[in-house]
């Protein structure tokens, strides 16, 4: 039987620090984001003089360096060790309401205050009292800010705080992958939150290659990764919207494949082989970010695909395709069981188009052998895994 000492003693000959390939890792340098970092620092710098920072809104596609840049700027701000300045990063997938955001701010900076049991009004007054003690300048990074359910209320509260404070200020640095998310806000919230905006453009292949060349020596042992493998991973990721996270994931999975096969070098073939695993992992990450109704639609299709008693399907080259009408009926059943009204067929068709654009489903028109003209649907990924992910992350089962 294996023991922990056996596992711990079997050190990797490939990796020295896998964490350096993680999207959560913040390196000492962020290549090709010097201009954005300077703009962010200029927006935040006034707090070091006892003045309010500008509210700044960052947006761009996944993997363009927004979160890493925001964390980098906060680290630099904290390194100044100004006793009147406090900075906090939080991911709004976790802190997804006005109450949770406010509670997190208070319990981080004022840990003696009870975490639960107080009304929103009490939390708000406590925050103001704490900031007024010595005129604190507070900067809060709200990553994936579009995930906050009552976003207008949050923005209103945090901007109103500056009107209610006699000393001190509160500033917001919002981060979102969704360029059009501001349309969810009313006009007042848009004007107060988005004092300044900064767009992070996707990386090109050359820039991605430069990023990987910084990370590879941190993550891998010397001479493990061939330059051609770095260039290939960069080219693949550049074709996928310039996503640096995807480039890092390709190298991570390639390294793991090499390690499992007891080899010592990562070459082009390993990057190619890692592509499928990386694409699947990225797809499952996307599922977790989908709107609820789209997640329920995917779940309905996954339950059909794993239902061994279900017979009304079409098989094409060993692949199982499901009638659009049948999928909608299953979707309606799923939503009703969860106490949620199903959307109309018009919305259902829109959801299918969006899911197909993301590569999560495939749609084909029926051909010979099928009565009438209808749309056939199949999942883009293994049904059992899709079902498990949604049950775990969405339905909480």
Instruction: Annotate 90-116 with DSSP letters as a single string.
Output: EETTTS-SHHHHHHHHHHHH-TTS-SS
Domain that holds residue 232: 203-284
Mean pLDDT value across residues 232-249: 92
Confidence (pTM): 0.76
Looking at the fold, whether 187 and 212 belong to one and the same domain comes out as no
Same domain flag for 102 and 120: yes
152 three-state secondary structure: helix
Instruction: Specify the CATH number for the domain of residue 336.
Output: 1.10.10.10
Query: Does 192 fall in a domain?
Result: yes
21 within some domain: no
Domain stops at, among 231, 260, 284: 284
Residues 46 and 177 in one domain: yes
Average pLDDT, stretch 193-207?
Answer: 88
Higher pLDDT, 320 or 335: 335
Q: What is the structure's pLDDT at 315?
A: 65
151 plus 221 within the same structural domain: no
Say whether both 256 and 107 belong to one domain.
Answer: no
Whole-number pLDDT of residue 379: 86
Arithmetic mean of pLDDT, 211-217 = 95
Q: How many structural domains compose the chain?
A: 3
Residue at 15 is within a domain: no
In terms of domains, do 188 and 215 share one?
no
Structure tokens, 7? 């596992």
Average pLDDT over residues 47-67: 91
| Of 171 and 316, more confident | 171
**pLDDT at residue 395 above 90?**
no
Q: Say if strands 56-60 and 196-200 run parallel, antiparallel, or are unpaired.
A: parallel
> What is the reported pLDDT for 282?
77
Q: What is the pLDDT of residue 307?
A: 80
Q: Could you tell me if residue 164 is inside a domain?
A: yes
Question: Most distant CA pair in the chain: distance in Å?
Answer: 78
Task: Tell whether 179 and 43 lie within a shared domain.
Answer: yes
Q: What is the pLDDT of residue 311?
A: 64
Whether residue 324 sits in one domain with residue 181: no
Which stretch of 55-64, 98-107, 109-118, 338-347 has the lowest confidence by average pLDDT? 109-118
The 3-state DSSP class for residue 91 equals strand
Would you say residue 228 lies in a domain?
A: yes
Same domain for 43 and 124, yes or no, is: yes
**Final residue of a domain: which of 200, 225, 260?**
200
Cβ-contact 80, 202 below 8 angstroms: no
18, part of any domain? no
Asked if the model's pLDDT at residue 372 lies above 60, the reply is no
Residue 297: inside a domain, yes or no? Answer: yes
pLDDT at 6 over 80: no
pLDDT tens readout for residues 225-239: 999 999 999 999 998
Closest CA to 356 of 277, 275, 281, 301: 301
- Boundary-marking domain end, from 227, 252, 284: 284
Distant-in-sequence, close-in-space partners of 98: CB < 8 Å, separation ≥ 6: 120, 148, 150, 153, 154, 157
At residue 370, does pLDDT exceed 70? Answer: no
pLDDT band at 265 (very low <50, low <70, confident <90, very high): very high
Q: What is the band of 62 on the pLDDT scale with cuts at 50, 70, 90?
A: confident
- Which residue, among 47, 206, 74, has the nearest Cα to 136 in the 3D structure? 47
> By mean pLDDT, which of 1-5, 96-100, 273-277 is the weakest?
1-5
Residues 50 and 164 reside in one and the same domain: yes
For residue 194, the domain's CATH number is 3.40.50.300
Q: How many whole angstroms separate alpha carbon 348 and alpha carbon 330?
A: 12
Dump pLDDT digits (tens) for 333-367: 999 998 888 999 999 999 998 888 888 888 887 65
Mean pLDDT of 58-80: 93
d(CA 53, CA 45): 7
Q: What is the mean pLDDT of the chain?
A: 86
Instruction: Give the pLDDT score at 194.
Output: 62
pLDDT at 357: 82
Please report, for the domain that includes residue 227, its CATH number.
Answer: 1.10.8.60
Residue 61 has pLDDT above 90, yes or no: no
pLDDT tens digits for range 144-198: 998 888 888 898 888 888 889 989 999 999 999 876 677 777 777 776 666 788 9
Q: Please tell me whether residues 117 and 139 are part of one structural domain.
A: yes
Q: Is residue 3 part of a domain?
A: no
Q: What residues pair up with 199 in beta bridges, in sequence order? A: 59
Confidence of residue 203 (pLDDT cuts 50, 70, 90): very high
Q: Sorting pLDDT into bands at 50, 70 and 90, what band is 397? A: low
| Pairwise pLDDT comparison (286 vs 88), residue with the higher score | 88
State the pLDDT at residue 47: 95
Residues 216 and 353 in one domain: no
């Amino acid at each position: 039987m294996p023991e922990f000492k056996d596992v711990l003693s079997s050190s990797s000959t490939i990796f020295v620090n896998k964490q350096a390939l993680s999207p959560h890792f913040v390196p000492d340098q962020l290549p090709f984001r010097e201009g954005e970092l300077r703009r962010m620092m200029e927006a935040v710098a006034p707090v070091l003089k006892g003045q309010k920072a500008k509210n700044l809104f960052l947006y761009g596609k996944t993997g363009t360096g927004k979160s890493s840049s925001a964390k980098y700027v906060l680290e630099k701000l904290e390194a100044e060790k100004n006793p009147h300045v406090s900075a906090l990063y939080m991911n709004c997938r976790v802190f997804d309401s006005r109450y949770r955001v406010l509670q997190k701010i208070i319990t981080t900076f004022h840990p003696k205050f009870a975490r639960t049991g107080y009304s929103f009004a009490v939390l708000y007054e406590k925050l103001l009292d704490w900031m007024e003690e010595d005129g604190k300048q507070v900067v809060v990074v709200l990553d994936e800010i579009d995930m906050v359910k009552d976003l207008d209320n949050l923005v209103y509260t945090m901007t109103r705080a500056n009107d209610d404070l006699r000393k001190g200020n509160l500033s917001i640095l919002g981060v979102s992958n969704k360029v059009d998310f501001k349309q969810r806000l009313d006009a007042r919230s848009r004007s107060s939150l988005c004092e300044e905006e900064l767009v992070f453009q996707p990386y090109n292949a050359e820039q991605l290659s430069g990023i990987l060349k910084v990370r590879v020596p941190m993550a891998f042992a010397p001479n493990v990764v061939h330059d051609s493998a770095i260039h290939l991973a960069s080219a693949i990721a550049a074709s996928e919207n310039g996503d640096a996270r995807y480039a890092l994931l390709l190298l991570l999975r390639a390294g793991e494949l090499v390690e499992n096969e007891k080899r010592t070098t990562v070459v082009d073939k390993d990057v190619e082989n890692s592509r499928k695993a990386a694409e699947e992992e990225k797809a499952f990450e996307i599922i977790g970010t989908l709107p609820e109704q789209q997640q329920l639609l995917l779940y309905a299709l996954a339950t059909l695909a794993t239902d061994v008693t279900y017979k009304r399907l079409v098989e094409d080259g060993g692949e199982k395709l499901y009638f659009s009408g049948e999928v909608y009926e299953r979707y309606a059943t799923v939503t009703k069981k969860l106490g949620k009204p199903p959307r109309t067929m018009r919305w259902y068709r829109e959801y299918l188009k969006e899911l197909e654009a993301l590569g999560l489903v495939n749609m084909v028109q029926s051909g010979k052998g099928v009565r009438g003209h209808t749309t056939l649907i199949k999942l883009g990924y293994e049904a059992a895994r899709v079902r498990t992910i949604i049950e775990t992350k969405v339905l909480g089962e």
